Amino acid sequence: MKVCSECNAVFDGRKWRSTPETDRHGVAVLEKTLCTACKRMRDKVVLGTVHLDGEVIASRSGEILRMIRHEEEIERARNHTSRILDIHSSGQKMTIRTVNSLLAIHIAKQFKQAFKGRIDIFKDSPGHRPRSKQDEGTISVKWMQNPQKQD
């Protein structure tokens, strides 16, 4: 079995999975490599972008960041590649880049659920070319707390 040297995920021949604790007897036969998620993190392969815009971003930033990391944790347990590459914020705007497209949608939906507002989902940013049949494509999601206040 292969094991990712970054995050200890294991490859069972079909799919990368997060492991809870590595079995003591398993370690010796494991081959160290990098899993899909860690490769994407290293190469900064951005498949999802979330743009958040709302006063809660500025007024409750600590809580907001915990909420985003919590969502990442939940999604990561379901799909190993659900990871956040980076988070940037300025005033009441925040941008989250993910290496998995579905994670971006899940994060935006969390905001709609918690603070209402509106989300818009845009698939495949211009210039995106599918690399393979398994290519999940890129997603960008925008959440606005007060859409009517815009413009």
Residues contributing to the site for Zn ion (CB under 5 A)? 4, 6-7, 9, 35, 38
Q: Cβ of 92: how many Cβ atoms within 10 Å?
A: 16
Residue 147's nearest CA partner among 108, 120, 110 is 120
Helix or strand (DSSP H, E) at 89: strand 84-90
CB of 16 to Zn ion, least distance (A): 7
Name the residue nearer to Zn ion (CB basis): 33 or 89.
33
Query: Of 4 and 45, which CB lies nearer to Zn ion in the complex structure?
Result: 4
What is the chain's percent helix, strand, coil content, to nearest 5?
A: 35, 25, 40
State the minimum distance, in angstroms, from the CB of residue 100 to Zn ion: 13
Q: Which of residues 42 and 93 has its CB atom nearest to Zn ion in the complex?
A: 42
Nearest approach, Cβ of residue 18 and Zn ion (Å)? 9
